[in-house]
Amino acid sequence: MIEQTVDIRTKDGKTTTFIAHPERGGPHPVILFFMDAPAIREELRDMARRIASAGYYVMLPNLYYRKGVLELADLPPLAEAEARARMFELMGSINIPLVMDDTDALLDFAGRDAAASPGKAGAIGYCMSGQYAINAAARHPERFACAASLYGVQLVTDKPDSPHLAAQKTGAELYFACAEHDTYAPLEMVEALDASLKTANANAEVELYPGVHHGFAFPQRAVYDKPAAERHWERLFALFRRNLG
């Protein structure tokens, strides 16, 4: 496995990005891995490594670089309520247009790396970033063959770039994994998303994971559910194989 951490120039500065890919058999299909709200950490790097080991060029960018934050663990410790407020402030500092600008920069960087395939790519996003993975596929329909939202939030909104609308602007195969118990992505939203995608005949699947909670795929979370987490890996790797090889 080859790993590197590089600062990729964007319109607004530089995003520190963890990149992992196999040593042999390249170039490898690109997969953009958008972080969740608690920011970059070793837990996410390990997940990126797991994907890369299957034959992919995985890019895990820091989306909080505009605030000068890489890992929340590097910041001075705060009481739980204050730390939570800080996380939500960081989460609110980014949006779909900003992250799409970052997506452009990431793809440009990958296009100049011989280890990255110039062919079809994929995108995944957890929690706050499910919306970003889906919108990346809509922004670059010629490049992204698949995208996945894992317990994504704000998937159905009244904004013109709402993910449920963006899903209709790409031919990429889309996958939405949703937790049955999720205050951030309630069942009403999941049902509205599913109905919208079916009405539009989008190339998409919405799968409800019964009995689990938001964050079930993260090993370091108290809500981690191993059977559900392994199911999500099975779904992701199947998605990648069908569309990226």
* Chain position carrying tokens 């569309």: 243
- Between CA 134 and CA 155 the distance in angstroms is 9
Beta bridge partners of 149: 125, 176
Reported pTM: 0.95
Listed in sequence order, the residues at least 6 apart from 12 whose beta carbon sits closer than 8 Å to its beta carbon are 65, 66, 98, 101
User: Residue 233 — φ and ψ, nearest 5°?
Assistant: -65, -40
pLDDT tens, residue by residue, 94-140: 999 999 999 999 999 999 999 999 999 999 999 999 999 999 999 99
Give the up-direction half-sphere exposure of residue 189: CA atoms within 13 A in the CB hemisphere.
22
pLDDT for 91? 87
Beta bridge partners of 60: 18
CB 7 within 8 A of CB 15: yes
- Between CA 96 and CA 52 the distance in angstroms is 26
Residue 154 CA, distance from chain mean position: 14
pLDDT for 74? 66
Which regions of the chain are under pLDDT 70? 74-79
pLDDT for 84? 77
* Runs of H (alpha helix) within 93-146: 96-110, 130-139
Q: Domains of the chain by range and CATH?
A: 2-244 (3.40.50.1820)
Q: Which amino acid is present at 133? A: A
- Between CA 84 and CA 74 the distance in angstroms is 15
Please report the sign of the dihedral spanned by the C-alpha atoms of residue 184, residue 187, residue 161, residue 177.
positive
pLDDT for 120? 98
- For helices 226-244 and 42-52, the axis angle rounded to 10 degrees is 40
pLDDT for 42? 95
Q: How far apart are the first and last CA of the chain?
A: 19
pLDDT for 55? 97
